[in-house]
Amino acid sequence: MQDELLFCPLGGSGEIGMNMNLFAYGKPDNQKWIMVDIGVTFADDTLPGIDLIYPDPGFIIDKKNDLLGIVLTHAHEDHVGGLAYLWPDLKCPIYTTPFTASIIKLKFQERGIDIEKHLNILDLNSSFDIGPFKMNLSTLTHSIPEPNSLFINTDLGTIYHTGDWKIDENGVPDSGNELRGRITQDWKTAPFFEHVKDNEFGY
């Protein structure tokens, strides 16, 4: 059997909010998984009495022994709001940059969970490995500090997962040119862009 590189969105694709994206690598009978973000969405008047909704994690809970880690791109609720609620069912390492780490520490403290030994705090634009996944962070521009995109590198190719971002002429210097160069230099890079209102004029 040959190795596979898989993408499995449990939330956030084709909708706004409750982002939970899974990536797997390996042979079909021995695949290792990572999760990118674990967010919530906010209920509206059609769901009286409900404030927050998060994705159904049942699929990955069944595979939690093969879940190597959760990588958080930034600290908005639609990307981290479900973490403190769902992590006790997963109990895997968490990877993120300092600002997002400070936010999620408070969330875990509110629920009486000591997350320190499971939290890996990364430098901006750093590289790190999670099992067969070789990860590179790349800082973008967004409406919150330290928004990160991810280059998820494997022997079968690279996935570029943006997280949330916006085009801003006064944003992170040269980030757009650097990313364009890295995406276009290798035909094995598969871009996964997160963007709302991209079908509306002016966005």
Q: Where are the domains of the chain?
A: 4-192
The structure's pTM equals 0.84
| Structural tokens at position 156 | 């079968």
Say which amino acid occupies 40. V
pLDDT of residue 199: 59
Q: What is residue 96's predicted lDDT score, i.e. its pLDDT?
A: 96
Cβ neighbours, 10 Å, residue 46 = 6
Phi-psi region of 141 (alpha: psi -120 to 50; beta: other; left: phi over 0): beta
pLDDT at 182: 52
Q: Which of 34, 44, 36, 43 is nearest to 19 (CA)?
A: 36
Full pLDDT tens readout for the chain, 203 residues: 899 999 998 876 766 677 899 999 999 999 999 999 998 877 777 878 888 788 899 999 999 999 999 999 988 887 788 999 999 999 999 999 999 999 999 999 999 999 999 999 999 999 999 999 999 998 876 667 788 888 999 999 888 877 665 555 555 554 444 455 555 455 456 655 555 555 555 55
pLDDT for residue 49: 80
* CA atoms of 78 and 57, how far apart (whole Å): 15
Distance CA 129, CA 131 (A): 6
The half-sphere exposure of 169 on its side-chain side, counting CA atoms within 13 A, is 0
CA–CA separation, 179 and 71 (whole Å) = 19
pLDDT for 40 equals 80
Note the pLDDT of residue 57: 93
What architecture (CATH level 2) is domain 4-192? 4-Layer Sandwich (3.60)
Sheet holding 157-161: strands in order across?
Answer: 127-130, 133-139, 148-154, 157-161, 189-192
